[in-house]
Structure 1
Amino acid sequence: MNYFKIPILLSLLLLLGAFEVSADNRPPNFVFILTDDISAEDLSIYGNQLIDTPNLQRLAMMGLVFDNAYLTTSSCSPSRISMITGRYPHNTGAPEIHVELPTSQKTFVHELNKAGYHTVLSGKNHMAPPNQLGFLEHSDSKPAGSENWLSHLQNRPKNQPFFFWLASHDAHRDWQVNDKARTYLPAQVEVQPYLYDGPLTREDLTGYYHEISRLDHYVGVILNELEKQDILDNTYLIFLSDNGRPFPRSKTYLYKNGIQTPLVIVGPKVNKGRTNALVSAIDVSATILELAGLSIPETIQGVSFSKVLQDHEVITREVAFAERNWHRYSMHERMVRLGDWIYIRNNWPNKRNLSGESDPHGFPAAKELWQKHEEGQLTPAQSLITFLPQPAEELYNTKNDPHNLKNVLYVPENKEVLSEMRILLTTWTNQTGDNIPNNPTPHKATMDGKLLKWARGEMPGDATNASQINHPGPILMN
């Protein structure tokens, strides 16, 4: 044996060991994929086998699927702003759609920047100027909003950890079909029981299906590139949506199909499987910062659920809240989720229960619904949004009634849970500075389609200076 080579061999082994330790201590990368207007129940990983999403299936097999993830609002820009700040919409200063995040508000991306991350926003923004949000690089594209994702990933600085906010325009109206995904026939869609099952609605759903499949195509592009670059072992990939499908009684509404988000996370400290752990969209910011080894600013109202990624039974949150504010039509509703229950309080029950997606003069599915309402051809479930006044309070058991069609508020055996949820919602309202505006932003149109003279009014949280309040409200039951 050549004993002269032994010290050299030992040195090489020690050097390799040092590289291994260094690799284990690398800051993780993050790829945050945010879809537009997709309900969880419309994806194959949540049971819908009619829409082709093989790459989401692949993602689900690699990581953890959340069956109980909830948004703080089902409206585009307020939902995105809530996620990036980790704050409830009325605490951001931008609780209504098309309101820019005030410069006084900070995002978790700023914290990543300070820690040396290369930060990118590619695709739909709808929040504020990218540099104000903390992004060093940005771009957008049409029609999917996903066309530049690959080039950003390929051309990133190789000596920095990175955070990519990849936001698609899919599946947002108006539908734009191309060759990146299959198309669907009206006979191949499923019509939810609260929509009118007619030719306009079925044709409308085919465009929605196509854009979901196109989104799935770009998820596959990103997965393939992460594998090609051999960095998937040190990268967290987080997939979710900003609100529910853009159809009546979904987007903007606080029912389960509007407010539940798909959530899948793949990463180095993620045990594969499914979890029923309740999480909120405001928790994502705290979770990302904790996974990055960074401190969580006091402005973030969410809580980290990083422990759930390894132990799927861990409870980090028992109560989740959401709000519905102005989105073309003036609304003020609040929701609390506890166990299998959803409780909704409508502070303006005498206003029409409308949004851009349920406008009688808007998109095909809504037009058909209201036309059949005028003809007296709707079922009880399809008629729910047409009632005036609307219920001031609603209570649904999501396990027994997943579409939230049967209001069981007055069932005697629900008296105790109803009382508990009323108290929770009132407590959250007081602790977070929520309020009912005296001079709210009015409707932009009437039921007959006439546009009104319009100017934005007082928003929730303005009168209470809620943008300066950091109290998170109830999280765990005492």
Structure 2
Amino acid sequence: MGKAMKSRFDVVKEADTSGFIVSKQGKFEESAKGDAKSGATEWVRALRERPTNKPFFFWLAALDPHRPYDQNILNDPTGLEDVKLPPYVPDTPEVRADYALYYDEIRRLDRFVGMVIAELKRQKVDKNTLVMFISDNGRPMPRDKTTLYDSGVRTPWIVRWPDKVKPNTVNSNLVSSVDIARTFMDLAGAKYGETFVGNSFMSMLEDTEVSIRSYAFGEKNWHDFSDRCRYVRDERFKYIRNFYPHYPNTPSADALRSPVFRKMQVLRDAGKLSPAQMSCFIKPRPVEELYDVVNDPYELVNLAGRPEYAEDLKRLRLQLKLWQKRTHDQEPEFEAPDEFDRETCLPLPVRHRPRASKAQMLQQFRKTGRIK
């Protein structure tokens, strides 16, 4: 969290972030132990220390289920037979074992969320407290996190508010993360400027048939590796535009270091991956991708070149261009360089800490023609 955000909170308690720091040898040295690695052990205490004479807003950010993963964090760890794998990763014991550890971290996080709900009930404020559970991205696995497929961007969105929202109801219409701030500001009766581009989703909670948007948009920029992609989707189709198709769909660095990806590299070299499982390695990528997310939820069949979907492609392509114009989304002057090797995931010489700002990198690029 940056300084500009920290200044907006009365109290900021940061969890141990050593698990995000990698050495030049590509290894982690976490300082936290046990449940402290979850980033959630102080949540209940924070609730108990709040002033009870005024409304409250808490942003409780967990480290679970970020990598790296540990064995035996639960008394009853997830069995390999309980893992459900998507078709774009190979079904091997190594892959299942890594997914099982991911499941374990989700289950640990679920325990801490339950403790928060229990504390709100103890304080007798749970019925009039809106609790929203979301995630910043998809699984730290190949073809998930840092992709624009649903496995990377369609994240949990669960709301609990007993006084206002009927339990066990589902509104399946489109919503976007840019709608969150607008909703919270409206609920608080706060004023905001034109920079709030989202829509309040409160009406969706009151009526499961209500829709607040026809399209949802998203973007991917540099994250460990150079890339630039945009997408737009409606209720049935998703359109992805790859502006740097010369790069493969390389996973995020934490997913690239994973046992899943390491096994995929071995099977790739042996010629034993299916076409769907090869998607992280193939280059160039298609410039355009179009998927029927209703009938093809894993987004495996690219419809962009099929004549019968030409009108859908044209419509979504136009919507994306209009969104880019509205948001002043312009081609950057330079490509931010990879910080890791795309095969070994070892840090490259360009990786510095503290990281240079965009302005500093742009100045360097204009002066030397490259980023060092």
TM-score by length of 2: 0.84
Residue-by-residue CA offset, 1:50-106 (whole Å, 9 max, x unaligned)? xxxxxxxxxxxxxxxxxxxxxxxxxxxxxxxxxxxxxxxxxxxxxxxxxx7584xx7
> Deviation of residue 299 (structure 1)?
2.3
Specify the SS of the correspondent of 1:207: helix
Matched, 1:149 2:43: yes
Q: Distance in 2 between matches of 1:204 and 1:281?
A: 28
Partners of 1:239 and 1:264 within 8 A in 2: yes
- Structure 1 runs (4+) deviating above 6 angstroms are none
Matched, 1:370 2:265: yes
Q: 1:430 aligns with which of 314, 321, 325?
A: 325
More strand by share: 1
Letter in 1 for 2:304: L
Residue-by-residue CA offset, 1:219-270 (whole Å, 9 max, x unaligned)? 1111111111111121001011110000000000000111001111111322
Matched, 1:413 2:308: yes
Q: Distance in 1 between matches of 2:210 and 2:191?
A: 21
Aligned pairs (5 A) from 1:166-245: 166-177=60-71, 182-245=76-139
TM-score by length of 1: 0.66
Give the total of aligned pairs.
340
Q: Distance in 2 between matches of 1:358 and 1:158?
A: 41
Matched, 1:282 2:155: no
Change (3 A) 1:102 1:147: closer
Q: Distance in 2 between matches of 1:430 and 1:204?
A: 42
Residue-by-residue CA offset, 1:11-60 (whole Å, 9 max, x unaligned)? xxxxxxxxxxxxxxxxxxxxxxxxxxxxxxxxxxxxxxxxxxxxxxxxxx
Identical amino acids, percent of aligned pairs: 36
Change (3 A) 1:178 1:293: farther
Equivalent residue, structure 1, for 2:31: none
> Deviation of residue 330 (structure 1)?
0.3
Partners of 1:440 and 1:458 within 8 A in 2: no
> Deviation of residue 293 (structure 1)?
2.1
Q: Distance in 1 between matches of 2:356 and 2:54?
A: 44
Change (3 A) 1:180 1:221: farther
> Deviation of residue 119 (structure 1)?
6.1
Could you tell which deviates more after superposition, 446-455 or 184-193? 446-455
> Deviation of residue 315 (structure 1)?
1.8
Change (3 A) 1:359 1:250: closer
Matched, 1:397 2:287: no
Letter in 2 for 1:313: E
Matched, 1:257 2:178: no
Partners of 2:16 and 2:37 within 8 A in 1: no
Partners of 1:444 and 1:454 within 8 A in 2: yes
> Deviation of residue 185 (structure 1)?
2.5
> Deviation of residue 451 (structure 1)?
3.9
Q: Distance in 1 between matches of 2:68 and 2:254?
A: 15
Residue-by-residue CA offset, 1:350-375 (whole Å, 9 max, x unaligned)? 11221335765x11101111111111
Residue-by-residue CA offset, 1:392-432 (whole Å, 9 max, x unaligned)? 11001111011111111122221111101101111111221
Partners of 2:224 and 2:253 within 8 A in 1: no
Partners of 1:336 and 1:421 within 8 A in 2: yes
Q: Distance in 1 between matches of 2:196 and 2:227?
A: 26
Partners of 1:359 and 1:367 within 8 A in 2: no
> Deviation of residue 290 (structure 1)?
1.1
Q: Distance in 2 between matches of 1:459 and 1:426?
A: 24
Partners of 1:143 and 1:176 within 8 A in 2: no
Change (3 A) 1:225 1:299: same
Could you tell which deviates more after superposition, 397-406 or 431-440? 431-440
Q: Distance in 1 between matches of 2:300 and 2:72?
A: 36
Letter in 1 for 2:152: G
Q: Which has the higher contact order (CA 8 A, sep 6+)?
A: 1
Q: Distance in 1 between matches of 2:187 and 2:273?
A: 49
Change (3 A) 1:448 1:386: closer
Q: 1:350 aligns with which of 246, 269, 285?
A: 246
Partners of 1:177 and 1:211 within 8 A in 2: no
> Deviation of residue 212 (structure 1)?
0.6
Q: 2:231 aligns with which of 331, 335, 348?
A: 335
Partners of 1:120 and 1:164 within 8 A in 2: no
> Deviation of residue 348 (structure 1)?
0.7
Partners of 1:444 and 1:451 within 8 A in 2: yes
Change (3 A) 1:166 1:371: same
Change (3 A) 1:451 1:225: closer
Q: Distance in 2 between matches of 1:359 and 1:146?
A: 23
Specify the SS of the correspondent of 2:227: coil
Q: Distance in 2 between matches of 1:417 and 1:351?
A: 26
| RMSD of equivalent CA atoms | 2.7
Aligned pairs (5 A) from 1:459-478: none
